[in-house]
Structure 1
Amino acid sequence: METVKDLIGACNTGLARGLSLQIIAVMNSLVPNVLVNFDDLNVDVEGDQLNPFLQPAAKESLRFAIKKRGKKLHVNSAYRTVVQQYLLHQQFQRGLCGITAAAFPGTSNHEGGLALDVQDPDGWEPFFEQHNWFRLGRHFDFPHFDFIFHAATREDLGSIGVKAFQRLWNQNNPNDRLTEDGDFGPQTEARLADSPVTGFGPSARRLLRLEDPRMHGDDVAELQKALLKAKIIKVDIQVTGTFDMATEKALKQFQEATKRLGVDGIVGPMTLKALGL
């Protein structure tokens, strides 16, 4: 089993995507919809290292900025999980992968759900500034923008992300529990380093979501059967084994109806449990 510490020299945080998506799912169970997916906007968000998530207010402002310019936005970096930040920080400390700066896990602005690195930052700057997205600097982190609107956002997502990992670890290691305090201390760091990059538990087999090309398999069929069995969705779905748009819509309806799951359209560990899978 490959663990997070095995990836330090790999120079690709996307290799821990399974664990990262589980952490995001737990974050949304701790604080419903604290992060929302923005890949339904006119954006290009390719690569397993890129998590297309923002705080809700940041997403809506991004929607208006993109519509105003009338052009597809190419995103290089968005939300970064604590596992990704750990890898970058370790690479920075060890002089690996060309990383010249990396914040301590839990403290990076990319862990706040309010940051984007984009292509053509000069072209996007006037449109972003109209909607509260501001450039970090032209001589430092050239493509980086932060969404600054304190009345509509939270500033504690870094600690929530750490707490989400701690909760995830405890759910899967009941005899080796961490204090769920959102502090990235030595004990949390050691457990994160030893965590499986594919994630924990049943969802380690695969995290289901709407993708292009569409995900297909028996696990998708099981999901569709479970959604129909729950009898709380109003979307007409068929048991096809293909995760299509109707399946995503039904899944989001189920998540919302539970009143305790993040409505993200992703089958993470909490959603699996709620569905009885």
Structure 2
Amino acid sequence: MTLVKDIKKFRTLPVRGLDRQLLWQLNQLFPNLLVSIEDLNIKPGDGLFPYVQPSVKKALEIFLKDYGKPLTINSAYRSVVAQTVLYNNRGSNLVGNPGESDHQNGVSLDIEEWTDVKDLMKKQGWKWTYGDQGKSDVWHFDWHRHEMPDIKEDTVKAFQILWNTANPELEQLVVDGIVGNPDVSKTLKCINNSPAEGFPNVGYPRTLKLTEPIQQGKDVGELQLTLKKAGIKLEKADQVFDLGTDQAVKEFQRSHSLTIDGIVSAEGETRQALKLAIA
């Protein structure tokens, strides 16, 4: 199991599993606080978790209609966990403290083609926040950042509730939506000690697949046992999603005429077919 504090790269993709659990928890507290932009004419960059506030999506739709071609977005909404990874590995990069980034508010976009779009975006009301200040973060654009609902504390509360639910035997965090001083913050300490791939069997089921860091946990073991019950050959059920488990999932998908991608998502066809297979 890889903890958030063990990630030594300046990229947010390794915590995408935990990101999805946090988004699920946030939606239990405040439905539709964030909406997906996957259906828009965009090209996702490596760091994109494709969610923003609803009014930001509307503004982006208007821009894309005028722009007339795909837009590469490297970052949109960024959870407090993802922000922590960047903060831990910031080096000389400009990175806000966990709990304070505009990206965590779901109003910011990092755009690859910033030189091509900045004039049109500014014309439509977007703020080229750091570019106009002469700072290095020139790909960063904000949609009315000071006028939008501030949801940063809500996103932190989602983590605090998730941590308390996953760790009932430990001292519970105060659900106040505050990270505070990075040097003494209990919430930040808990973020750093959370599994990057997500908490097993807490809230929204993890999407199980072959990843880096590798997924481990009771939910992986249950998947392995289910595959065996469904008649798929698998040497061991050791709660580790390794190459053998990946091949077993693909064999099940092949035998049931499903998409052969080795992925068992929370609500996808493979998970549903597994339930039917052992019913």
* TM norm structure 2: 0.68
User: Higher relative CO (CA 8 A, sep ≥ 6), structure 1 or 2?
Assistant: 1
- Aligned partner of 1:87 in structure 2 is 85
| Mapping of residues 108-257 of structure 1, within 5 Å | 108-138=101-131, 139-140=134-135, 141-148=137-144, 153-155=148-150, 157-176=151-170, 177-185=172-180, 186-202=185-201, 206-207=206-207
Contact 2:5 2:88 in 1 (8 A): no
Query: Residue 230 of structure 1 aligns with which residue?
Result: none
The total of aligned residue pairs comes to 212
Conserved? CA contact 2:42–2:72, under 8 Å: yes
In structure 2, what is the equivalent of residue 31 of structure 1?
30
Instruction: Tell me by how many angstroms 1:103 deviates.
Output: 1.1
Tell me what 2:76 maps to: 78
Question: 1:129–1:178: structure 2 CA closer, same or farther, 3 Å change rule?
Answer: same
Q: Report if the CA contact (8 A) 1:65-1:130 is conserved.
A: no
Question: What is the Cα deviation at residue 11 of structure 1?
Answer: 2.8
Letter of the aligned partner of 1:146 in structure 2?
D
**C-alpha separation in 2, matches of 1:178 and 1:42:** 40
Cα distance, 1:10–1:123 mapped onto 2, change above 3 Å: closer
**3-state SS of 2:72 partner:** strand
Residue type at the aligned position of 2:34: L
Query: What fraction of aligned residue pairs are identical, expressed as a percent?
Result: 35
CA positional deviation for 1:105: 0.6
Match of 1:213 in 2: none
Decide which structure has the larger Cα Rg and report it. 2
Distance change >3 Å, CA 41–CA 193, structure 1 → 2: same
8 Å contact from structure 1 (residues 85, 105) kept in 2: yes
What is the deviation of 1:15?
A: 0.7
The 8 Å contact of residues 4 and 193 in structure 1, kept in 2 or not, is answered as: yes
* Aligned-residue offset at 1:24: 1.7
Q: Per-residue deviation at 1:179?
A: 0.9
Q: CA RMSD in A?
A: 2.9
Tell me the equivalent position of 2:231.
Answer: none
Query: Partner amino acid for 1:200?
Result: F
Contact 1:62 1:131 in 2 (8 A): no
**Cα distance in structure 2, aligned partners of 1:125 and 1:207:** 36
- Contact 2:9/2:89 (CA < 8 Å) preserved in 1? no
* Native 8 Å contact 2:35 2:54 kept in 1: yes
Residue number in structure 2 paired with 1:65: 63
Cα pair distance change 1:12/1:126, threshold 3 Å: closer
Indicate the SS of the match to 1:202.
coil
Measured in 1, the distance between the counterparts of 2:38 and 2:64 equals 12
Instruction: Name 1:257's counterpart in structure 2.
Output: none
SS in 2 for 1:178: coil
How big is the shift at 1:132?
A: 2.6
Residue 242 of structure 1, CA deviation:
5.0
Counterparts of 1:10 and 1:146, CA distance in 2: 25
Q: What are the ranges of 5 or more consecutive residues in structure 2 without an aligned counterpart?
A: 209-221, 227-255, 269-279
Cα shift readout 1:27-49 (whole Å, capped 9, x = no counterpart): 122111111110110000132x3
